[in-house]
Amino acid sequence: MNVAHALSDTLVVARRSLLRIPRQPDLLLGFTIQPIMFVLLFVYVFGGAIETPGFDDYTEFLIPGIIVQSVAFGGFVTALGLAEDMKKGLIDRFRSLPMWGPAVIAGRILADVATNLITLVIMFGVGLAVGFRFSNNVPEVLAGFALLLVIGYASSWIFACIGLIASSPEASNAYGFVLLFPVTFISSAFVPTGSMPDWLEPVATHNPFSTMVDAARALFLDVPAGRSVWLAIVWCGVILAVFAPIAVWRYRRAVSR
């Protein structure tokens, strides 16, 4: 199958995934209302008790971290969708059609990129409303937006694996939270790693998610970047190199439940 056919099949599946949103508007809650609640909770409830040296206030520290978390979790829709298709037998039907096999996964992940764009608009709107301001120049800020989309795209491949392995949509949801919530919270996203216990600080500092958050802060706020931007890109490449082949392999071997 040529590239044009593969791209066409991918776009068809992506359109199918996006059409679910108007028909099931509750899907929007996971990547709109929940992140907004996190912002309001941390800014107005916990923010006064958290010190962030090097930043003007906690809002400046928090918003890049919570936005990286939001786009990283955008792949939950892919995990739930693939698990549901497996349960209904649609995966077997897709594989019987004359289409590019990985398009089923690639199309869903392409749809995640579109929903992550919605998430970014909403989250930055909320961030500006609570006092966040960009302090870097336009090219760096745009590079930050691009990096967030790359992080979301790479994370969606992890969720694709979860959706194809889980026994049900409910199980995929549980697996995602159990596996990824510790990664996001034991990081520099919500508190400085220096405030953590001595045994936990090195874990949080070398957490790939911390690197991604630090890279976003550097691009949006003009704080020292060090190697965080390049390392964040490298980590996204590593995630893709590991989880994309696993997801495609699992799709080809999966049996509907």
Question: Considering the chain, what percentage of its residues have pLDDT values greater than 70?
Answer: 94
Range with the poorest average pLDDT among 16-20, 108-112, 178-182, 196-200: 16-20
Q: Widest CA span of the chain, in angstroms?
A: 58
Output the pTM of the full model: 0.90
Q: Which range scores top for mean pLDDT: 1-10, 85-94, 199-208?
A: 199-208
pLDDT in tens, 119-164: 899 889 999 999 999 988 999 999 999 999 999 999 999 999 998 8
Convert the pLDDT of each residue in 29-61 to its tens digit. 666 777 788 888 888 888 778 888 888 889 999
Cα distances (Å, whole numbers) of residue 176 to 5, 11, 106, 168, 244: 32, 26, 19, 12, 17
Whole-Å CA distances, 198 to 16, 61, 86, 207, 256: 48, 22, 44, 15, 47
DSSP 198: T
Domain ranges of the chain: 3-253
Lowest-confidence range among 55-59, 177-181, 241-245?
Answer: 177-181
